[in-house]
Amino acid sequence: MAEYFKKEDQDLKMVELVRVPREDEALTIKSLLSSYGIECILQSDITHSVYPLTVDGLGEVIILVSNRDLEKSKKIISKTYD
């Protein structure tokens, strides 16, 4: 099955773009990146539907993008949030 993947795709790694305190902010960033054709993964240690709050960083959401899209993603975020 590995023959279906290109070498460049095999070298991709997911890296942290940013950490945000709330899921709604993470979803907004995910939507923004998606509009530029950048896929991302949201990662959190808790289930926000069960615990919809953040205490001392416990509910923060980490946004991961491919290492190939990291710089472009940073520019998009900085333009939007500056």
Domain range annotation of the chain = 12-81
Crossing angle of helices 70-81 and 23-35, in 10° steps, is 110
List pLDDT tens digits, range 18-68.
999 888 899 999 999 999 999 999 998 765 455 555 555 567 899 999 999
- pLDDT for residue 11: 72
Label residue 73 by pLDDT band (50, 70, 90): very high
Cα–Cα distance for residue pair 70/67, rounded to 1 Å: 5
User: What are the residues whose beta carbons fall under 8 Å from the beta carbon of 9, sequence distance 6 or more?
Assistant: none
Strand partners, 19: 62
Comparing CA positions, the residue from 75, 14, 13, 34 lying closest to residue 26 is: 34
Into which CATH architecture does domain 12-81 fall? 2-Layer Sandwich (3.30)
